[in-house]
Amino acid sequence: MQAKLNHGLAALLRRVGVVPVLTIDKLDQAVPLARALAEGGLNVLEITLRTACALDAIREMVRAVPGAIIGAGTVLSPEQGAAAMANGARFIVSPGMTPRLIDAAATWPVPFLPGVATASEAMALADMGYRVLKFFPAEPTGGVPALKALGAPLADLVFCPTGGIDAAKAPGYLALPNVAAVGGSWVAPAKAVAGGDWAAVTALAREAARLRVS
Sorted by where each starts, the structural domains of the chain and their CATH numbers stand as 8-208 (3.20.20.70)
Active-site hit among 39, 46, 60, 169: 46
Q: How many CB atoms are located within 10 Å of the residue 125 CB? A: 21
Q: Give residues with Cβ within 8 angstroms of 210, minimum separation 6.
A: none
The number of residues making up the chain comes to: 214
Taking only the tens of pLDDT, the chain with its 214 residues reads 344 458 789 999 999 999 999 999 999 999 999 999 999 999 999 999 999 999 999 999 999 999 999 999 999 999 999 999 999 999 999 999 999 999 999 999 999 999 999 999 999 999 999 999 999 999 999 999 999 999 999 999 999 999 999 999 999 999 999 999 999 999 999 999 999 999 999 999 999 999 975 4
Residues 201 and 33 sit within 8 Å (Cβ to Cβ): yes
Active-site hit among 4, 39, 60, 134: 134
Residues 176 and 151 sit within 8 Å (Cβ to Cβ): yes
Tell me whether residue 39 is one of the annotated catalytic residues. no
Tell me whether residue 79 is one of the annotated catalytic residues. no
